[in-house]
Each structure stands twice: as structure tokens, then as C-alpha cells.
Amino acid sequence: MFGTGAILEGAFRLVRERPGAVAIWGLIYFLCIAAMLASLRPFAQLLSNPAAARDPAAVMGVIGGVFLVELLLMVVLVVLFAAAFRAVLRPERSGFGYLRLGMDELRLLGLGLLVGVLSFIAYLVALIVIGVVAGVLTNAVGVSAGFLTSALLVLAWIAGFFYVQVRLSLAGPLSVYRGRFVLGEAWALTRGRFWAIFLAYALIVVILSIAQMIVSAVAFMPMYSAMIGEAMRHPQDPAASQAASAQMMGQMTSFGPTMIGLAVFGAVIAALWVALNGGAAATAAKLLAGGREAEAFE
């Protein structure tokens, strides 16, 4: 029976029955975190060297390195989510952690780019509409009315954004399941099932976010406390504040015990994020596409 409980059960079953695959995904993400820390290391060097920080070529070189790593991370996430979808929808295609690099991944990448472009266009349109409406009301009624209307329109846009995202969230797993680009079927199958899917995603996000925030706060609190304490001891000395920031950045981009531990924990959270969110979406797709609701699309 389709519902939030069934979706969550399928998501957690993926973690329970495929721990080896989830561990492989975590290891891959750990390597990505290490690459990101290495790409951020030059930022610490720039902070500790004001002369270099004023060199546009040096700054652009650092930004370019970070951009390349972020691009790599985006591709890796596409591959990992495709593996999670495959583990639920095509469990016979196990291989090495269900990992592939083929048409499924290209379709997911294209789907992500399409949704991203459409979301950006929707954002621009909403920004223009909200600005025009707020301006008209401010001139006609007053600042309070314009501000209140703007706030309500922003909230409505956010709600609409999440609604569309949830309604289209099955497009990825369905594209892997069907072996072709799918968008309309995802919208059709989720009709009337928004809340069941949304609650499943929300519970997963809350659980993982709380765990991540607790560990991050415990790990980073000493660094932030030291930086703030140094700045307060020398409130009129910008160089002291910059030195404290450079020291903290150096610690955050180093491969010391604290950062290695955080990287390991981050990789675990990322693997669970992929497994649970990907497993939830794939489970919902399998439950719906396997029933009579999908016969018209076969």
C-alpha cells in the first residue's frame, strides 16, 4: 500500500540490505571531500598573505580550482543517485555498488540541468512579479502593505517551488526504470500523493540534518570560539582578525585528526543521504509505476 510508511520502509531497507554498496558510496564521497579540502587550502594561504590576496590572477586560480572540484562533485552525486535508484529498481544489476557511467547517468544529468534552468527562470519571473506588485502597493497603499504582500508572495513562491519539486522528484528514478527521459509520467503518478511523498522526504532530511548539525557544532565550536576570542582581544586590529581567520581556515582545510574525523562523518551522512533520499524516491516510483496508475505509460 502506498504511503509515507511504505516509502520510508523501502528507503531504510536499501541501507539495511545493501550496506556494502552504501559503504562504497561513502568512500567515494570521502575522496570528494578530500579533494574539496585540497582545493580550499589555497584560500587559507591567501588569507595569510594579504599581498597575494590582492592579486586577481591568484584569486581566480583558487576559484577555478574550487569550481572544477564542485563540478566533479556534481557528476559524482549524479552517479551515486543513479546507483541508489538502480539498487531499488534494478537490483539484479549490482556490479560494483550499482555504479555505472552510461546513458542513465547522462539522462539524470540532463534532467537535473533542465529542472535547474526552469527553476532559475521561475525564480526570475517570481522576482519581477513580486517586485512590481510590491512597488505598486507601496505607492498606492503604503510601505506596510507592500512589505506584507511581498512576504506573502515570497512564501507562496517557496511553497510552490517545493510542491513542484516533490511532484517531479520521481522523474529521476523513473528515467532509470524506463531507460528513457521521463518527466510527464512523474507528474502524473504523484497526483494526489504530494503529502505522502513530502513527509517521507521531510523526515529523512530532519533526521540527517540534526545528526550533521550536532557533530558539526561540536567539532567547529572550538575553532569559532578561538577566532572570536582573538578578535575580541584585538578589536581595533584588523590584522589580528585576519590572522585568526587564516588560522581557522588553515585548520578547516588541513588533514588533521579533527578534519579527517569530520570528513569521515560527512561521507557517512552523504552516503545515507543518497541511500535514503534516492531509496525513498525509487521506492515511491516502484510502488506507483508498478501499479495500474502506470499502465497508460507502458
Q: Per-residue DSSP letters for 140-152?
A: HT-HHHHHHHHHH
Largest CA distance in the chain: 71
The DSSP output letter for 294 is G
92, pLDDT greater than 60: yes
Query: Phi and psi of 234, rounded to 5°?
Result: -130, 65
pLDDT confidence tier of residue 294, bands split at 50, 70 and 90: very low
Q: What confidence tier does 234 reach under pLDDT thresholds 50, 70, 90?
A: low
pLDDT recorded at residue 103:
92
pTM of the model: 0.81
Query: What is the reported pLDDT for 39?
Result: 79
Q: Determine contact, residues 248/224, Cβ cutoff 8 Å.
A: yes
Q: Is residue 288 predicted with pLDDT exceeding 50?
A: yes
Residue 198 CB coordination number (10 Å): 18
